[in-house]
Amino acid sequence: MGSNEMQKKNTFRTVMLGFLIIAFFVGIVFAYYNMVYEEKRSNIIKDGKMAARSSAWQFDRYLSTNMDLIKLTAYTLDEMIEEKHSDDDIQYYLVRQSTAIKNAVQENSTGLYGYINGRFFSGTNWEPPADYVATDRPWYTKAMEDKGRITILEPYVDVQSGNTMLALGKTLCDGISVISVDISLDQMQKLTEEAVSDGGADYEMILTGNGTVVTHSDPGEVGKIYSTENGTLGAEIYSRLCTEEEFYYELDHDWKHYVVYDARFEGDWHCVSVHDATNEFASLRQIFAITILVVSVMAVILVTMMVVSNKRAVIAGRVIEAEAEKKEQSASEREAAADRAPGHPRDVKDDEDDVQKKLEPLKGFSEIDTGQGIRNSGSLMAYLSLLKNFYASLDGNTQKLSVKLQRGDIAGYTALMHSIKSSARIIGAGNLAGSAQAMEDASRKGDMDYIMLHHEDFLKLYKSFEKPFSAVFR
């Protein structure tokens, strides 16, 4: 074989080898990019999940308190109707209950009201305008459509206060009387806005089944009906809520990329957390493109050098062998560099080892099962964050429980005990969660003997977490 033919053959092999090198490094970069992309996406979904579920839980708890009030009031009114109490007796009872609601549940409540014994009653002695027909109002017609069940009326402007409200209603035993109460959305609107200011999401909202915006981190969106809009972000979010089986999804709108998480409650209501991931994913794509470009340029330069070297036919074999060794060494160096790159799985493992060491003080503390807590939280890093929040609120919650008990604020005591129970269960503090559950049940039943007997014991158990936790977060 002549020297020219050998040179051509070696040149061809060099070019092919160069393409293989480019493909190899592009493959590594692409795999690494996908790993980082999925990790970023997973973290965004996790944050959205926590924000949406937290808001949904708080709203559901807020509704449950008022539903209990409606049930209790309806039960008493049923007895009064059956015993044929006078309208004055009914009015007196509604006024008394409305005052209790203002003092214990909603300071700005418009009170209980309803259509009973063929006339309108108001627990705040509100006099409706002359053209006000109670049986034509949505709170009455909605309850009549679903007799015997507590109905939730979608947001509307209250005639009495002029505020945006939700109305809960229930028919009474005679089948034509209805008792109702308005729920102010001010507190839930505040909680929704705080979810965004705390960094949990870029947008937070609560939507009804027909797309009505109950609360929104942007107050200007409240009251809109997304199901009737076209081309807006809200309309796109609502349309996907109706078609997606998953609780989270991604969508592109107006040149932006969003990750959406949907926490559903009360049947067909949605608490939606929206994260604008445009910049985060754009930066990843930019880094990916630059890395591919750099790798390609380096590979082209390498191939060019090898082709030029192969023109020396006499030492073609030696040159090819030397260049092969050089390429293998470069590949090893790049693999080592990729291993040392920030965000490599080894770094994540190192972070997890650090968290495990940080949790060492809890191993001798029998009141917490860290393994269960980690499983509940989904990851070590998320678990550490939940532990930190639990520790940060421990002292304040201890004081608040005693103050609420001293003031006779049983509703507030119950809500706080419910919150402590949920937090304890998530972090793996099963005994504390069980004690909180027992205290919560007793307070819901009004069993003050049990509460007074076990309150100090509960506080002692709760405070026992302070010392081991302070060793973790000192």
Same domain, 211 and 176: no
Per-residue model confidence (pLDDT) at position 98: 87
Contact partners, residue 387, CB within 8 Å, separation at least 6: 359, 373, 427, 469, 472, 473
Task: Look at residue 62 and tell me if it is in a domain.
Answer: no
Q: Which of 250, 255, 258 is nearest to 275 (CA)?
A: 258
Q: What average pLDDT does the segment 375-380 reach?
A: 89
Where is mean pLDDT largest: 125-129, 240-244, 411-415?
A: 411-415
On whether both 180 and 202 belong to a single domain, the answer is no
Higher model confidence: residue 75 or residue 65? 75
Average pLDDT over residues 171-182: 92
Q: Is residue 175 in some structural domain?
A: yes
Q: Which residue in the block uniquely carries the two structure tokens 């050098």?
A: 305
Residue 30 has pLDDT above 80, yes or no: no
Measured from the Cβ of residue 33, the count of other Cβ atoms closer than 10 Å reads 17
Higher pLDDT, 402 or 166: 402
> How far apart (Å, rounded) are the C-alpha atoms in residues 122 and 141?
17
Residue 25 belongs to some domain of the structure = no
Position 289 scores a pLDDT of 76
242/253 same-domain check: yes
Query: Which DSSP helix (H) or strand (E) runs through 395?
Result: helix 380-407
Question: What value does the mean pLDDT of the chain take?
Answer: 80
Does residue 43 form part of some domain? no
Nearest to 204 by CA among 62, 46, 55: 55
467 and 379 share one domain: yes
Q: How many domains, in total, are found in the chain?
A: 3
pLDDT at 62: 73
Of the pLDDT bands very low, low, confident and very high (cuts 50, 70, 90), residue 26 is confident
The CATH number given to whatever domain includes residue 263 is 3.30.450.20
Pairing of strands 203-207, 269-276: antiparallel
Pairwise CA distance, residues 419 & 405, whole Å: 16
Tell me, yes or no, whether 173 and 207 share the same domain.
no
Can you give the residue range of the structural domain that contains 140? 105-184
**Concatenated DSSP letters for 55-92?**
HHHHHHHHHHHHHHHHHHHHHHHHHHHHTT--HHHHHH
Q: What is the pLDDT of residue 201?
A: 81
Asked if pLDDT for residue 362 goes beyond 90, the answer is no
Digit-coded pLDDT (tens) for 201-230: 888 988 887 888 888 888 888 888 898 998
Q: Is the pLDDT of residue 344 over 60?
A: no
- Asked if 166 and 269 sit in the same domain, the reply is no
The rounded percent of the chain whose pLDDT value lies above 70 is: 79
For residues 389 and 420, is the Cβ–Cβ distance under 8 A? no
**Given the structure tokens 């560099």, which residue do they identify?**
337
In tens, the pLDDT along 271-288 reads 888 888 888 777 767 776
Listed residue (272, 205, 202, 206) closest to 244, CA to CA: 272
Both 366 and 465 in one domain: the answer is: yes
- End-of-domain residue from the set 184, 219, 251: 184
- Say if residue 425's pLDDT is above 70: yes
β-pair partners for 157: 164
Residue 286 tokens read as 């930019």
User: Which position has the token pair 């917490």?
Assistant: 368
Out of 41-55, 285-299, 371-385, 395-409, pick the least confident: 41-55
Q: Please tell me whether the overall predicted TM-score, pTM, comes out greater than 0.75 for this model.
A: no
Encoded tokens for 215: 């609360």
CA distance 345 to 348: 5
Residue 406 lies in a domain: yes
Give the integer Cα–Cα distance in Å for 409 and 388. 28
The answer to whether residues 404 and 443 touch, using CB atoms and an 8 Å cutoff, is no
pLDDT of 318 reads 46
Residues 465 and 365 in one domain: yes
- Residue 193 falls inside a structural domain: yes
CA distance 94 to 69: 12
Average pLDDT over residues 393-398: 92
Q: Can you give the pLDDT at residue 84?
A: 92
Task: Select from 231, 263, 278 the last residue of a domain.
Answer: 278
Higher pLDDT, 174 or 102: 174
pLDDT score of 167: 83
pLDDT of residue 328: 44
Beta bridge partners of 207: 213, 270
Q: Specify whether 205 is located in the same domain as 267.
A: yes
pLDDT tens digits for 87-97? 999 999 999 99
- Residue that is written with structure tokens 């005639």 in the block: 159
Q: Are residues 172 and 201 in the same domain?
A: no
The helix/strand/coil state of 116 is strand
130's tokens? 């002359």
- The residue out of 278, 302, 324 marking a domain boundary is 278
Least confident span in 131-145, 311-325, 449-463: 311-325
**Which element (helix H / strand E) includes 111?**
none
Within a domain: 138: yes
- So what's the pLDDT on residue 339? 43
The band of 67, judged by pLDDT with boundaries at 50, 70 and 90, is confident
Among 16-20, 187-191, 336-340, 374-378, whose mean pLDDT is lowest? 336-340
Q: Identify whether residues 364 and 461 lie together within a single domain.
A: yes
* Residues 113, 141, 145, 87, CA torsion sign: positive
CB 275 within 8 A of CB 196: no
Selection from 241, 193, 201, 199 nearest residue 220 by Cα: 193
Mark whether 368 and 464 lie in a shared domain.
yes
Percent of the chain with pLDDT over 90: 30
Does some domain include residue 8?
Answer: no
Q: What is the pLDDT of residue 347?
A: 46
| Euclidean distance between the first and the last CA atom of the chain, given in angstroms as a whole number | 77
Distances (CA, A) of 142 to 131, 171, 373: 20, 10, 43
